[in-house]
Structure 1
């Protein structure tokens, strides 16, 4: 955030020469040399206080006539012009003050205020660099100016310098993430973090930032290596559990791996990509060791409110691809219950899994429900027809299949399947002629689809 020179007005009686006072005291803390000067100066402060800036300027011009080389009066003059948004006059007055007393940071801050308000950022940068020798923390302002002017390389270098000297800050971290999100500055930050870890191996935040960058760049192995190093140097770190989990899993120490996994998944600090990878590795393990299925259920619950990935659906797909249809059904149903009962893709996957598992009653019920929600989607009619045929509800099958067939467009395979099921329905109804008619039609469609 851009800092502004906030000037507290304190009234002091002037006794002696203004230049004998400390160089970095507030200009208004300096007393007047003569009664006439003093009266005019205090009058300017009074008029400024009640926002009569024009009158304050008149009084200050009297002061300058009395003491032409008085930096304080020029500084006050600049402030009043600035309040009136007369930027050129304000800048001229502040510049005169810096010429008379170049070692007073308040005078430079006057120019800085003008340059920032007028969006003259090159001048703002030039000016802030003259203020930094008086107060190095103004480099944070310089970082902000570099960000505004898209000088990201200079901004990042200054952020690294300030972090090393004063410790990290929220503003600097935000700017850093903004810079390295562009990609071309990631290597600079990676090298910086590697050096920071070498210099201070017990500082957890550097490891975490480095893991984040590697994870974002899809360099999971490097992220894991950093996590291993973190676990060794800072055993209490939640991020360190990422490494320990993998180690325990590989050595078949399931109880320890599950304990580490639960720490990872419950952590508010650990990146979601790492969490998803952890869960996926445990899923593969549970597929070979089904006695830990209850722990998998608990792990999935951590993702119930994940806005990015339907974890239960993805696990359903995993079991689906393995031919474990009952497990797939369980997770598809879980996903629909916790997310959206009407999700089209998940429902189609579930209906296919029901078919493979020969669970025709729930399949038919769900397909009929989905027809009400998606009345023009032929797949739901197909599954409803198939289910009714398997349940020997041939009349219902015939009705729903004939309705759905009207919605099939440019899909020979699906159209063939509709005809097969219609043949089955007519067969069940005892109409052999219609049965043969639909089977022949299905056969022709399958030939065309080759």
Structure 2
């Protein structure tokens, strides 16, 4: 690969030196005199053993004998470059290009100097002249645009190179960096739409366009692209995204489930698309509970999802619908699969237990959570409520009195604690204490109003 810029970008990591030119330099040199020939070959010999000063002396003799010899100036530039005398090297290379402007190698000499001196404007200007002779050097131009933050020009050049020579890993890395900044996404969307029109059988263009629409939260547009993909490439995994939605809308549940399973199992499809697919199926199952088993199977695809606790989110969905039995099932599944001590999930589960009057598991779960969160008053409250309901009044009294100390600036919760303490003392046969705590609760509720 001729990308000299990229080689330098990785120099600090790999400790590599500049790559040599990929093609042989001019060797056929017409000698005007024996003296010229002797001096020129002496310069090559001295350069070969890194005696660059002596090589320069010999080349200066050559230039005196043949003042318009471009090759001698080119060799002179290379020796000055080796000595890091950059201005002298640039002058020599420029003289060579003036004498023979159609020689790619002479321009590459200027490019080497400009790059080593970080004169990127000159490097860009020079590489554009080299591209006339060899278009593949446009990869160097792309790298220079990236270094100088000219991302709009880089993106245009990347798309041109991809279109003509096919994609490369380096260009794709650059493109992802550009598109991560957001403002260039629209230009890339336009490019992908054009590429799809040009070649409707190339799946990657559809996938990249779906991804960009998804990142922009333009789900409807992403779905339209998926429909087009499914039509053009029916066997595409991404095409199933469109088919799933089509089947679901047509109430063809079996076909929708089959497409959904392909989507969820795919290593190619973006996680946002997968979550959206599952969410749509969840809404469908809420109206068609006979497919609840298929929902449970679908959730298993997300067991190792590090970003979203899918079972927990489904539990919250059912919770919001007042379907507490279903909510409990998914909260328990989440706690089993992930962290058994997640605070939010446990509080939601305890509330769902209370709504379904499952007081024994409520009391046991709350007591376990007190050990993990000893200063969290809600767990003491649920432990007290549960123990009261299963007539373990002494346990309820003890845990409620402990938890009350942790209630701060929450009149409603403090009132509930006092109500449960009244219930506990009532169960223990202490009517006086019962009234005392009920009165406290009543006063707190009045303040709340």
Give the TM-score of the pair, scaled to structure 1.
0.90
Contact 2:6 2:143 in 1 (8 A): no
Distance 1:254 1:123 in 2: 63
Q: Pairwise mapping of residues 283-322 of structure 1 onto structure 2 (< 5 A)?
A: 283-322=282-321
Describe the shift of the 1:344–1:57 C-alpha distance in structure 2 as closer, same or farther (beyond 3 A).
Answer: farther
Displacement after TM superposition at 1:6 (Å): 4.1
Contact 1:26 1:106 in 2 (8 A): yes
* Residue 178 of structure 2 corresponds to residue 179 of structure 1: yes
2:345 aligns with: 346
Contact 1:385 1:400 in 2 (8 A): yes
Describe the shift of the 1:42–1:415 C-alpha distance in structure 2 as closer, same or farther (beyond 3 A).
Answer: farther
For residues 109-143 of structure 1, the C-alpha deviation after alignment (integer angstroms, 9 at most, x for no partner) is 12112222222111111111101111112122212
2:361 aligns with: 362
1:142 aligns with: 141
Describe the shift of the 1:339–1:47 C-alpha distance in structure 2 as closer, same or farther (beyond 3 A).
Answer: farther
Distance 1:261 1:173 in 2: 29
1:30 aligns with: 28
Contact 1:342 1:373 in 2 (8 A): yes
Displacement after TM superposition at 1:147 (Å): 1.9
Contact 2:59 2:76 in 1 (8 A): yes
Distance 2:46 2:445 in 1: 94
Q: Pairwise mapping of residues 36-185 of structure 1 onto structure 2 (< 5 A)?
A: 36-185=35-184
Displacement after TM superposition at 1:40 (Å): 4.1
2:20 aligns with: 7
Displacement after TM superposition at 1:108 (Å): 1.3
Contact 1:7 1:26 in 2 (8 A): no
For residues 371-409 of structure 1, the C-alpha deviation after alignment (integer angstroms, 9 at most, x for no partner) is 122111111111111121122111111111111111111
For residues 209-241 of structure 1, the C-alpha deviation after alignment (integer angstroms, 9 at most, x for no partner) is 211121111111111111111101111111110
Q: Give the SS at the match of 1:291.
A: helix
1:17 aligns with: none
Displacement after TM superposition at 1:204 (Å): 1.4
Report the more deviating stretch, 307-316 or 187-196. 187-196
Displacement after TM superposition at 1:307 (Å): 2.1
* Residue 386 of structure 2 corresponds to residue 373 of structure 1: no
Displacement after TM superposition at 1:161 (Å): 2.0
Which runs of no fewer than 5 residues in structure 2 stay unpaired?
8-17
2:10 aligns with: none
Distance 2:369 2:45 in 1: 78
Report the more deviating stretch, 423-432 or 148-157. 148-157
1:20 aligns with: none
For residues 57-107 of structure 1, the C-alpha deviation after alignment (integer angstroms, 9 at most, x for no partner) is 344334434433332232233223333332222222222221222111122
Distance 1:304 1:446 in 2: 44
Contact 2:311 2:334 in 1 (8 A): yes
Report the more deviating stretch, 270-279 or 199-208. 199-208
For residues 413-437 of structure 1, the C-alpha deviation after alignment (integer angstroms, 9 at most, x for no partner) is 1111111111111111111111111
Distance 2:421 2:53 in 1: 93
Q: Give the SS at the match of 1:302.
A: helix
Describe the shift of the 1:419–1:46 C-alpha distance in structure 2 as closer, same or farther (beyond 3 A).
Answer: farther
Q: How many equivalent pairs are there?
A: 435
Q: Give the SS at the match of 1:115.
A: helix
Report the more deviating stretch, 326-335 or 215-224. 326-335
Describe the shift of the 1:196–1:372 C-alpha distance in structure 2 as closer, same or farther (beyond 3 A).
Answer: same
Displacement after TM superposition at 1:35 (Å): 4.8
Which runs of no fewer than 5 residues in structure 1 stay unpaired?
10-23
